[in-house]
Each structure stands twice: as structure tokens, then as C-alpha cells.
Amino acid sequence: MNPAPTQLTTAPANATSSASTEPIAVGQKRDSSLKPAAVSNFIRQVIEADNASGKHGGKVVTRFPPEPNGYLHIGHAKSICVNFGLAQDYNGVCHLRFDDTNPVKEDVEYEDSIKEMVRWLGYSFDGHLYYASDYFSKLYEFAEHFIERGLAYVDSQSPEEMRANRGTFETPGTNSPFRDRSVSENLALFREMREGKHADGAHVLRLKIDMASPNINLRDPAIYRIRHTAHHRTGTTWCVYPLYDYTHCISDALERITHSLCTLEFEAHRPLYDWVLARLVESGKLTLPSPQQIEFARLNLTYTVMSKRKLIELVETGLVNGWDDPRLWTLAGLRRRGYTPASIRLFAERTGASKAHQWVDMIELERALREDLDATAARAMVVLDPIRVVIENWPEGHVELCSAPVHPHDESRGRRTFEISREVFIEREDFMEIPSKGFFRLVPGGEVRLRYGYIIKCERVEKDENGRVTTIVASYDPATKSGTQGGRNVKGAIHWVSRSDAIAAEVRLYDRLFTVENPDEGDGDYKDYVNPNSLQTVRAWCEPTLASAAADQSYQFERNGYFTPDRVDSKAGALVFNRAATLKDGWKP
Ligand code: ATP
Ligand code: MG
């Protein structure tokens, strides 16, 4: 069982940054630069202690080191926001470094998409874009240095032998029969490896640390392997490639990273990280202070799977429509769905950085979005499931203009105008022939206000042969126009659009992609929990102001949620909207 997912009910206490300390209330007016209240996390405490002691001369240099072998997801966004966010808060810099040590899996397409999404989140890496492959020469030079000092050897065991001799958590490993090769033999062999004289897998270069260490990572870890594969940046220059643990700490040191933040599964790798750097400092190859590795818990979000393999599988098996399917929690998917960078930064900040394993409820992500959009999104009326209303005492051909604020709390954004005419559309669910208790919207013989328009009364209904209501015949009270003096009010007010100026749109309504909180749990395959009803498409009628809606613009469709034009499929004249989120508390008629 996983621990119950966290719902963050209050703004975090102990805000330490001047960014913003006010608690965030839903519905509160904000500008679009929504700044999250800074969470007091333990990483800030480390940085502040280092700044106080002058360890790094007051500098903060972090890095985000993705492997270009997949698209970024919300878990990566968390890491991006922690790294870039901390750098920003302490006037430091954050490097984007592609961990491109594995020539087999990497791809330029992924690289481009990663850069695009980091920028989209609002962070700049101008002048600070790096590649682990930039250091291949240096890493090789250092490897020879380790050999010369008797701290590395070429092992010619088969991969199976190496695995068997590694030992287990309970039992120590066994020294390789090649462990005591002479320095000159090791150097000669390593150079032959580099020159391409040996096949993939024939040898590896290993550090000579301790095969009996209780920490398996210190049992002579391999640091170089042979791969006769071209690399997308270095071409065929190399046929030996450095492994992650060795590359990562040295890359950090060469870039003079101060705080190297990673997820908890690297905790047991930290002694190796420190060992490699300490040896290079000893011989003057690197200088102090060394970067400090700090681990925090990875983000787990309910109703998602984060593994790259599973994401790839979802896309490749067609369970979703591509990497940017709005049901996915990839950043490309979230952006297309209508998530804003500010909402993702807010979410990342709120979920904090801690050592405790963390499951966060999907509700938190949705809440962060609503908070941002409630303050910023223009309002519009859209009827998702239309039913026709004919106002019989409205003169044929007569049209009047109505108006409503673009944003209810910001008059400076002006007003939107739309028509009202003899025929309007309302939401089918806003009418009940036999009303349930507490239903204050339209009922036979009852009145309701068309928001920003008039009060209408249902006189009778027309039905088709199946008994389904096809038309509501109504009357209106000419003395009740919104915004005019002397108007009276009724309990219910509903949204609507006029047949005379409404524009049609396709609207895509999403539900969670999985039916269970943790698709990875349980006995079945996670794919068994895919929600067959995660996408519902409807034909809607929209108020005319939406004709100019452009991707990256968010709207609150009154009472229906937050929507954005689909950046791929929506075109002028053929609008397609995605619902990013429903309205939290629903609309109380
Ligand atoms: P893999 O290494 O298995 O290919 P990964 O998800 O770790 O997958 P990377 O490209 O290595 O992918 O990730 C880049 C950075 O993002 C790493 O520093 C990693 O720790 C961080 N990261 C990845 N997933 C999460 C997560 N769920 N929460 C927080 N940080 C994450
Ligand atoms: Mg990784």
C-alpha cells in the first residue's frame, strides 16, 4: 500500500522567500505572474547555511540533467521548478545539462522538446546549456588518471560473471581475477578499447574501491563500457562511453555546480559521487569546494504512471493520441490541455521538497490551475449540451445587445457583447420537467434569469416521439433586463447563447486516464485500468467573442470550467476547445 496521497489544504507555513507570503485563497484576484508562497524546504536551509558560512562564496548553481530519451512529465516539472526556482530565489543560475552518455537511446527530437518545455515553464538557460558529451575528453583523461593511480582497472569478465561476483545486500562481492592487472596493462587495454580494437561487452573499466563494501555502489563500479555506436553529437569519435555515476559527479564539478539536487534513489550513490570527486581533488584535477549532492523525494501523482517505459507504451499502443494527448501528464499534454506554466510552478512549489516519500493527489494539480485561471481567464458563455428555447412574446427578427464583464473582478478588461433574440440555447440540464427538491433553474411554469439578459418563464415544452424535450417555449419579462433600473430577481440564473450570433465549436471533455489512484499497484497490468470514458466530445454553442480565441488563451466558460483552444486542431471557423478543469465548487444557481 502507498501512503494516502497528500491533499494540501492550506498554504504552507514558514514562507522564507520574499516572493510571496500571502496565503492563496481560491477566487482571490491575482495577476498573471502568480507567485507561489515559498515552501520552507530543507534544501533552502542547506543553501542558507552554505551562504552564511561562505562555502561557495554565496553562489548558487544548480542543474537540471535530463536524459534525452523521452518527453518531460509533471515529475520532471517538479525537478525543473526546484532547480530553476531555487537558483532564481538565491540569485543563482541553473544549468540545463543533457545527460547524453548513452548513444543508443537518445534523440534530437526529445532534446528539442525538453528545451521547449523548460522555456515554456518560464525558465531560461541562455548561456547555460550543457551536454555531458562536452566532457567526453575530460572524462577519458580522468579515467586514465584513475588507472595511473591504481584506482581503476580493465575487467574482462563476462557481464554474467560480473553480476555473480558483485554479491548481494547480505553477502560481499568477490574480487575479479583481473583486478590486479598492472597499471601499464590496464592503460594499454583501455587505449585499445578506445581505439575500437574490442567488441561491445568484451571489457569494462572499473574503479578499484572495495568489493566487500556494504554499499553495492562502491563495489568497483564500472565507469566505461564499449559501444560501437555513433552518438548524435560526437558522431563516431568514441566507441567507449562513460557511465552515469562517473559522468554525473564530474560534470557537476566541471560546471562548478554548488548544489546537485536529485531524487532519493540516488542517496546510496552519494558515497561514490563524493569518492570520485575527492580523488580528483587530491591530485589537483579538480578544486574545492566540490558540489554537494542533495536528495529529495520524487513526485508521485495519483491517477498517473511516471515511468518513461510506460508512457512510451501508452503512446505506442495508441491508448492515447500521441505525446501531447491532453489526458497525459507530460508537459506537452498538460500544455495542450490548457495548463498554464504559472499553475505548474505553483503546484511544484506547494508540494515542496522533502525526504519523505510523497504521493500527491491529482486534485492539487487541478486546484493550482483553477487558482491561476480564476484570476486570469476571460469569461465566456458556452452551452455544451444545448436545448432550444423559443421566446414566443419576443418579436420575430428583433435582436438586442447584452453585455458582461470580460473578468468579473477586473473592470479594466472591458466588457464583451453578444445578442439576445427570439431563439436561445440553454444547457439541457438547466431544465427539469419534474424538478427535484432545491432545483432553482427552469421548470414548467417557473422563471429563471438568462444571465446578463432577461428573466424568462417556461410556458410549455415540445417533445419528439420518444418523449424527449426538443424545444422549450418561453416568455420573457421586458422589464427585467440585466443592468437596468427597477429589475426584479429570481433564484436561478443560467448561461445561454443566442441563436442569432452563436458560433459552433467542438469541445473535448476529459476525465482521468486511469480509473484507480495508483495504476501501478494491484495485481493487473496498469493498462487494465485505463478509463474507457476519458474523452468525451460534444458540439457546443459559444458566444461570438470566442471566434477570435487563440491557443494559449484560457477561458472560463461560465459554470462549465476552464477551457483553451486546442493548439493542434483548433482553427478560425472550426474551433476546438479542451476542458482543462472543471470549476471547483460548481456553480450554485
Ligand atoms: P530514467 O533515468 O529512468 O530514464 P527519469 O525519469 O529519471 O528516467 P531523467 O531524464 O533522468 O528521467 O530525469 C531528469 C531529472 O528529473 C532527474 O534529475 C530526475 O531525478 C528528475 N525526475 C524524474 N522524475 C521525477 C519525479 N517524479 N519527481 C521529481 N523529479 C523527477
Ligand atoms: Mg534518471
Contacts of 74 (CB under 8 A, 6+ apart): 299, 301, 304, 306, 329, 330, 331, 334, 344, 347, 365
Centre of ligand 1 to C-alpha 76, Å, is 6
Enter the CATH code of domain 13-131+246-372. 3.40.50.620
CA distance 313 to 350: 30
User: What is the Å distance from ligand 1's center to 221 Cα?
Assistant: 21
Asked if the model's pLDDT at residue 12 lies above 50, the reply is no
Strands (E), 325-454: 358-360, 378-380, 382-383, 386-391, 400-405, 415-420, 423-427, 447-450
**Spatial CB neighbours of 85, under 8 Å, sequence gap ≥ 6:** 345, 348, 349
Q: What is the number of the ligand 1 atom nearest to the C-alpha of 72?
A: 10
The pLDDT assigned to 11 comes to: 35
**Contact status, residue 403 vs residue 565, Cβ threshold 8 Å:** no
Question: How large a percentage of the chain has pLDDT more than 90?
Answer: 86
Task: Write out the CATH class of domain 378-581.
Answer: mainly beta
Residue 29 has pLDDT above 80, yes or no: no
Q: Is the CB of 66 under 6 A from ligand 1?
A: yes
Cα of 287 vs centre of ligand 1, distance in Å, is 28
Q: Average pLDDT, whole number, for the chain?
A: 91
Q: Lowest mean pLDDT: which of 151-165, 263-277, 471-485?
A: 471-485
Which amino acid does the sequence have at 258?
A: T
pTM of the model: 0.90
Question: How many angstroms separate the alpha carbon of residue 67 from the centre of ligand 1?
Answer: 8
Q: Which protein residue has the closest C-alpha to ligand 1 atom 2? A: 67
C-alpha cell belonging to residue 354: 522533502
Q: How large is the average pLDDT for residues 103-116?
A: 87
298 lines ligand 1 (CB under 6 A): yes
What residues are labeled active site?
Answer: 67, 298, 308
pLDDT beyond 90 at 13 = no
Q: What's the pLDDT tens digit per position in 345-368?
A: 999 999 988 888 878 999 999 999
Helix, strand and coil percent figures for the chain, each rounded to 5: 30, 25, 45
pLDDT of residue 488: 83
Pocket test of ligand 1: the residue of 62, 79, 307 to mutate, having most ligand atoms within 8 Å of its CB, is: 79
| Ligand 1 atom 13 nearest Cα | 66
| Segment 531-541 mean pLDDT | 96
User: What is the second-level CATH architecture of the domain 136-244?
Assistant: Alpha-Beta Complex (3.90)
Spell out the domain ranges in the chain: 13-131+246-372, 136-244, 378-581
The ligand minimizing its distance to the Cα of 304 is 1
pLDDT digits (tens, 9 = 90+) for 406-432: 999 999 999 999 999 999 999 999 999
- The atom of ligand 1 lying closest to the CA of 67 is 10
Going by alpha carbons, the residue nearest to atom 8 of ligand 1 is 308
Three cell numbers, residue 173: 562481492
Tell which residue, 309, 311, 350, has the closest CA to residue 328: 311
Instruction: Tell me what the mean pLDDT of segment 310-338 comes to.
Output: 96
Distances in whole angstroms, Cα of residue 386 to Cα of each of 21, 383, 497: 44, 6, 9
Write the pLDDT tens digit of every residue in 200-233. Answer: 999 999 999 999 999 999 999 999 999 999 998 9
Any atom of ligand 1 within 6 Å of the Cβ of 352: no
Best CA proximity match to 223, nearest among 290, 275, 263, 297: 275
Q: Is the CB of 326 under 6 A from ligand 1?
A: no
Q: Are 61 and 47 in contact, with CB atoms under 8 Å apart?
A: no
Environment class of residue 127 by beta-carbon count within 10 Å: exposed (0-12), middle (13-18) or buried (19+)? exposed
**What pLDDT does 315 receive?**
95
Residue 584 confidence (pLDDT): 67
For the segment 282-296, what is each residue's pLDDT rounded down to a tens digit? 999 999 999 999 999
